[in-house]
Structure 1
Amino acid sequence: MLVSLYVKDFAIVSEVEVALGAGLTVVSGETGAGKSLLVDALLLLTGARADAGMVRHGADRAELAAEFRLAPDAPALAWLRENELDDGGDCQLRRVIRADGGSRAWINGRPATAAQLGAVGERLVEIHGQHEHQALLDRTQQLAMLDGFAAHPALLADVADSARRWQAAARTIEQLQDRGNVSDRCDWLAAQLAELDREQLAPAALEELSAAHRRHSHAAALIEGTARAQARLGGDDGVSLLSLLRQTRAELARLGEHEPRLAQVDALLDGAEIQLDEAAAELDRVRDGLDLDPERLQELDARIARLHDLARKHRVPLDALALRRDAIADELDQLQGAGETLVRLQRERDAARADWARAAQALSASRAAAAGTLARKVSALMDTLGMAGGHFAVELTALPDPAPDAHGAERAEFLVSANPGQPPRPLRKVASGGELSRISLAIEVAALGLDAVQTMVFDEVDSGIGGAVAEVVGQKLRALAASRQVLCVTHLAQVAAQGHSHLRVSKHAGDDSTRSRIDVLDAKERTEEIARMLGGIDITRETRAHARQMLATAGGKAS
């Protein structure tokens, strides 16, 4: 439920904050006072496109804010939680429109996009105005309204799910069939795979191959170098590191009896001698493993050349050949199993189509029953809403030999005959703005209790009517307000008298600007406003008495 609306520097409104309650709230005022600005503000707060022209002249920006109190099971609260924008049981919307045309929006204090405002807004409030009624002319929206009236979400889900499965299987089948005869491709892939499988492509194998090639390429230099190093370490000819170290230790041992600290030096040299012995032994092993083998080097050269050729052939780095081999193997497996896959997918497609046909048939039957009920209820309500003798119908047209469609096997068209004896014609071709407003009201009343949105706004729903019909419109709005919060902008006393609360919009001209203000009327002020709406400029005693009578009859307070 909408509990407050704040508007600042918006059109001709300087600043106003309105508290709203349950039931029917009516908004009245003289022509041009800005009655519909509240509706415009709600439209912007629920995602409508911002227009810099709505910023009050001379202001830098317009500010709009609304607070909604949500029930625990409200769809809007579920959406807020899903998008991590929830804040307890309330929803606060705020939007700033700058004079340069830019705008920003917030949901519960967090930055939001206009699309997010629209998504949460459609779960918070329904706005029925001259422009918003255009949705009533859209056949897609008409089908959605019929489905909402029929209240068969399980049937809709079954149809959508089976259509999705059919479409997924059909799309994959088409992709497989587009490949044509895959035998040639399989032969080519098998040859490529065999060629790659003859090589050792693992990273460790490539590293070992590279190391072996380097070793054999430099075998002569390695043999010569290790021999010289061995001679320097412990060779028998000439001076070596080991012989010098042993001589040094012997000399220090003779001096050690005179200086005990030399024992520590000898211990360090003993460790160094052990390390040199081990190094010499390792050099022996390395040298023994080296061999000048031209044939082995030639073999390694050939292997490396083949690997580089393969890398160029497949247009990948050398170390990516293993991944390329795996990809070829995967594709070959898929193609070799394509026949079995195609048969399986065709079975899945046919099963999904059969499931869709059964679900769509059940949905069609439910829609047909709901269409008849909705047509009877709306036709009866039209008669009381100033369209006597009018007739409303819902035409269901089957799709020609339909492929499984997520929306079912038919489309809906709302038809209306505004005058007796005339055949029903599409609503989009015959209805005027005022008729659309009343037909929209009739549909809402007919579907009372089926819509989860708790706040409904009607802008000039009484356009083009008066007298007893206007009173009936007011009564229907009041009946709707028994289970929903309803806000109605009106210029008719008969409608305004039915409200549970009353807001008056007035315009005041200053020296350099014109501003609107909004007042919450008490009982006495309300009587005066109803009298003004009845009698115009000159309000007589009889007019006030009539106003009090209307309020008393409607259940409103009069003074």
Structure 2
Amino acid sequence: MLVSLSIRDFVLIEKLDLDLARAGGGGLGALTGETGAGKSILIDALGLALGARAESGAVRRGAAQASVAASFDLPAGHPARQVLIDQALDVDDMLTLRRLVGADGRGRAFVNDQPASVALLRRLGDTLVEIQGQMEQHGLLDVATHRASLDAFAGLEGPAEVARAAWQAWRAAEQASTDAAAAAETARRDEEFLRHAVKELAELSPRGDDEEKLTQERQVLRAGSALGETLAQALSELEHGRGAVAALRAAHRLIERQADKAAGRLDAALSALDRALSEATEAQAQLEAAREALDVDPAHLEKIEERLFALRAAARKHGVPVSDLAALAGRFASQLAALDDGEALLKRLAAEAGAARAAYVDAAATLAAARRKGAARLDKAVAAELAPLRLEKAKFVTAVSTLPEAEWSEHGTERIQFMVATNPGTPPAPIARVASGGELSRFLLALKVCLARVGDAATIVFDEVDSGIGGATAAAVGERLRRLAKDVQVLVVTHSPQVAALADRQWLIRKTTTRNAASTDVLALDAVGRREEIARMLSGAEVTAEARAAADRLLAAAG
């Protein structure tokens, strides 16, 4: 819901702050004033904050830049919250969209005071406000919204989701079949290579850690002679002559014999000799084991080097690291197996794709039948609204047309379009191309009343929906606006006293002209102010007692 609108230096408006929250927020709000006072400027300013194109001349004469800020109450679950999350922007209960436009035409956009693109303002604005003006090509005039509007009106979210899931399953099955066919074709082209590669790699039998282990083993074998000499010399130091082990053993015997006579003073030394002798003996055993395990056979070294060469040659040939040869062998074997069993696999995948298509066609047919029933109900509901709006000769039609298969989608197999015929005997045509400005606004009002709970926008703005009408027709427009305002916030720019009287709150748009400039401001009207304004709307320039009495009757009848 729109909470406030702040405008600075926009066209004729120097400074304007519209506080809708203080006025009660929801319901039906009327914007009135004399012709040329600038009522539509407010709508243009709001549109700018919602991402509309900045027209030349938007900046008030003499000002450096124009700014417009629109603040909205953002309830939990509102789709604008997800848009903010997707853009990594802060999400609060209040959302403010702000737009700056310089006199040079350049501008900036902000979302909750964080820099943003105009496109993002437009995305957010589409979830927040619908502006139904004369020939505004968005909202219900956008054919892209008609399908979703019909589905929501008819309560078809369930069948639509079934069709969407069936479409995705069909697409996935078709993709799997296509990929398998392409892989089989590639395998057939490369069959000779695959068979040779699989045989070659199978003989080589690579493992992921082959290169590392073989390299280490080769290093040891290449150093085998020097290692053998080093081991022999080390053992000689420990074993032969007065070696370390013999020396430790002799020292241990000597101390052990005298330990009982030393009153414990030799216990620590004896314990240390025990440990040293044990470690020296273990070292001797390990060196002997290493000497025995050392294989310096030149033939073994040659075999290791040959295997390393073969592995590295295969890796270069296939353009992979040696460590990836085992995985590559597995892939080649799988491709060859798929080639050998390819026909059966392709037939199975094709059958699955056919079954998925049939499931989608069934789901889409169910959805299409429900849409046609829903379309008939919507047409009937809109028709009931047209006659009181002085459109009794017009006909509204929700056209449901079947699409060629190339245009099927997750949304179904038909195109939905709202059409109208304004005169008997003329074929229905798209609503935006047939209806005149005033008729268009009333068509959109009738349609929106029937679709009151459809869509995300909690604020709907009607710009001069009562153009060219008066009396009972204007009252009928007001009644429908009031009915619509029970579900969403409605703001209407109006010249009709009947419409204004039915509003829950009213603002007067005033234009002040001096010798050098003109400016526009807005005044929130109290009960007395509303009576005077509605009387002016009834009588013109001079407000008479009769006009005030008529205004009292309109306000009383409105309740």
Say yes or no: TM over 0.5: yes
Return the alpha-carbon distance in structure 1 between the equivalents of residues 300 and 395 of structure 2.
98
Shift in alpha-carbon separation, 1:267–1:200, aligned structure 2, 3 A: farther
Shift in alpha-carbon separation, 1:399–1:247, aligned structure 2, 3 A: closer
Show the counterpart of 2:227. Answer: 222
Return the alpha-carbon distance in structure 2 between the equivalents of residues 395 and 277 of structure 1.
99
- 8 Å CA contact 2:49–2:68 kept in 1: the answer is no
Helix, strand or coil for the counterpart of 1:407? Answer: coil
Helix, strand or coil for the counterpart of 2:542? Answer: coil
Shift in alpha-carbon separation, 1:232–1:438, aligned structure 2, 3 A: same
Q: CA deviation at 1:295?
A: 1.6
Pairing 1:317–2:335 present = no
Show the counterpart of 2:449. Answer: 445
**Considering only aligned residues, what root-mean-square deviation do their CA atoms show, in Å?**
3.9
Return the alpha-carbon distance in structure 1 between the equivalents of residues 336 and 53 of structure 2.
53
Show the counterpart of 1:522. Answer: 526
Return the alpha-carbon distance in structure 2 between the equivalents of residues 470 and 347 of structure 1.
62
Selected match of 1:491 from 488, 495, 508? 495
Pairing 1:470–2:469 present = no
Return the alpha-carbon distance in structure 2 between the equivalents of residues 267 and 312 of structure 1.
60
TM-score normalised by structure 2 residue count: 0.83
Show the counterpart of 1:64. Answer: 69
Return the alpha-carbon distance in structure 2 between the equivalents of residues 511 and 231 of structure 1.
119
Show the counterpart of 2:132. Answer: 128
- Report the identity percentage: 36
Show the counterpart of 2:109. Answer: 103
State which drifts further: 200-209 or 467-476: 200-209
Return the alpha-carbon distance in structure 2 between the equivalents of residues 512 and 336 of structure 1.
90
Show the counterpart of 1:7. Answer: 6
Q: CA deviation at 1:473?
A: 1.8
Matches within 5 A, 1:182-221: 182-183=187-188, 185=190, 188-199=193-204, 201-221=206-226
Q: CA deviation at 1:27?
A: 0.9
Return the alpha-carbon distance in structure 1 between the equivalents of residues 28 and 555 of structure 2.
14
In structure 2, what residue type is equivalent to 1:68? D
Show the counterpart of 1:24. Answer: 28
Deviation by residue 1:260-312 (Cα, 9 ceiling, x = unmatched)? 86764564345334333332332222223334422212111111111111111
Show the counterpart of 2:282. Answer: 278
Deviation by residue 1:101-141 (Cα, 9 ceiling, x = unmatched)? 122203xx998876666566545443312364444444333
Show the counterpart of 2:96. Answer: 94
- Structure 1: runs of 5 or more not aligned: none
Return the alpha-carbon distance in structure 2 between the equivalents of residues 451 and 315 of structure 1.
56
Deviation by residue 1:513-534 (Cα, 9 ceiling, x = unmatched)? 7654322211211111112223
Matches within 5 A, 1:341-490: 341-400=345-404, 404-448=408-452, 453-490=457-494
Pairing 1:141–2:175 present = no
Q: CA deviation at 1:8?
A: 4.5
- Structure 2: runs of 5 or more not aligned: none
Show the counterpart of 1:543. Answer: 547
Pairing 1:304–2:303 present = no
Show the counterpart of 2:168. Answer: 164
In structure 1, what residue type is equivalent to 2:361? A
State which drifts further: 438-447 or 192-201: 192-201
TM-score normalised by structure 1 residue count: 0.83
Matches within 5 A, 1:247-286: 264-265=268-269, 267-286=271-290
Return the alpha-carbon distance in structure 1 between the equivalents of residues 338 and 41 of structure 2.
63
